[in-house]
């Protein structure tokens, strides 16, 4: 039976806010560099906790979960838009689809063919790990906002509401930085960008094109710093198969059925993020045009 409150998640949330607050108010007076590092970690950790919230954690109450992650430490993604697009992403039969998966980096080959050479070059660089870490936050945010702007112009009130309710959340963070924090604004903005870059490490190869649905989702068996930072979402196929399971239960679930999960995803596995860096730091793992997309029918 599910508990009324999940204390490991609440504890992690409290630690995250405390680190961010201390870094912005006191640590920056000692070391701006350390403040940037801590704020980047806290904002990325908060994004992982926000992911937990939209999946129904740490309480049974949807509104309370949203309130608990109300201050958007990464600033740029509205909670309601993250929730809607991410839950759409969990329609696993659409994973990696250039149109139906909101989180894919693949493009329709027909769209790719029409792009100017400079954009193709930019996207190719973005498909290396170095490019994704440096350029990915800008490219991803631009693509996300451009898609939402098209929906708003087409009359989608739900998307508009998502951005409208994001305003007071962003104002709360700006108020803190302007009225309470001692951290220089440039340093805080740099920490926000670094936090988005950290998140791009997790999403870099979470999914790949494959005819078999479950083989599109990766396992990264990293139990160290990044495993905690990503709240075990690096065990990604486990999360996709059991999206309601809280983060701290995923490792035991994976260990208990490891062979089953690796058979399910056809061995799409990495031992750690250091292995991913060695293989793809300057080399693209995937092409930008979806290799299996065929006249709107490929998935």
pLDDT at 299: 42
Residue 200: other Cβ atoms inside 10 A: 21
With vertex at residue 199, the alpha carbon angle to CA 193 and CA 201, rounded to the nearest 5 degrees, is: 110
User: Which pLDDT tens digits describe the chain residue by residue (299 residues)?
Assistant: 456 679 999 999 999 999 999 999 999 999 999 999 999 999 999 999 999 999 999 999 999 999 999 999 999 999 999 999 999 999 999 999 999 999 999 999 999 999 999 999 999 999 999 999 999 999 999 999 999 999 999 999 999 999 999 999 999 999 999 999 999 999 999 999 999 999 999 999 999 999 999 999 999 999 899 999 999 999 999 999 999 999 999 999 999 999 999 999 999 999 999 999 999 999 999 999 999 987 544 44
Alpha-carbon distance 83 to 87, whole Å? Answer: 6
pLDDT at 243: 96
What is the widest separation between alpha-carbon atoms in the chain? 58
Residue 250: other Cβ atoms inside 10 A: 20
């Amino acid at each position: 039976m599910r508990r009324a409150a999940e204390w490991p998640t609440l504890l992690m949330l409290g630690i995250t806010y405390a680190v961010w607050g201390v870094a912005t108010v006191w640590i920056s007076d000692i070391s701006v560099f350390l403040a940037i590092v801590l704020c980047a970690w806290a904002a990325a950790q908060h994004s992982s906790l926000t992911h937990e919230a939209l999946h129904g954690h740490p309480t049974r109450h949807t509104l309370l979960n949203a309130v608990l992650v109300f201050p958007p430490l990464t600033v740029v993604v509205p909670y309601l838009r993250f929730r809607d697009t991410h839950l759409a992403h969990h329609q696993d039969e659409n994973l990696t689809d250039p149109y139906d998966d909101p989180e894919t980096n693949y493009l329709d080959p027909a769209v790719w063919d029409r792009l100017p050479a400079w954009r193709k070059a930019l996207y190719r660089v973005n498909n290396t790990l170095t490019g994704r870490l440096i350029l990915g936050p800008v490219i991803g945010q631009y693509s996300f906002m451009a898609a939402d702007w098209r929906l708003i112009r087409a009359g989608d009130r739900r998307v508009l509401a998502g951005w409208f309710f994001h305003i007071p959340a962003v104002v709360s963070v700006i108020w803190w930085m302007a009225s309470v924090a001692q951290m220089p604004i440039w340093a805080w903005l740099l920490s926000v960008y670094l936090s988005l870059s950290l998140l791009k490490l997790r999403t870099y190869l979470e999914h790949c094109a494959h005819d078999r649905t479950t083989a599109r989702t990766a396992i990264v068996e990293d139990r160290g710093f990044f495993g905690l930072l990503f709240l075990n979402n690096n065990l990604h196929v486990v999360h996709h198969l059991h999206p309601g399971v809280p983060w701290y239960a995923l490792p035991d679930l994976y260990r208990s059925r490891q062979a089953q999960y690796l058979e399910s995803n056809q061995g799409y596995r990495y031992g750690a993020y250091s292995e991913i860096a060695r293989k793809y730091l300057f080399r693209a793992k995937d092409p930008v045009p979806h290799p299996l997309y065929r006249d709107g029918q490929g998935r």
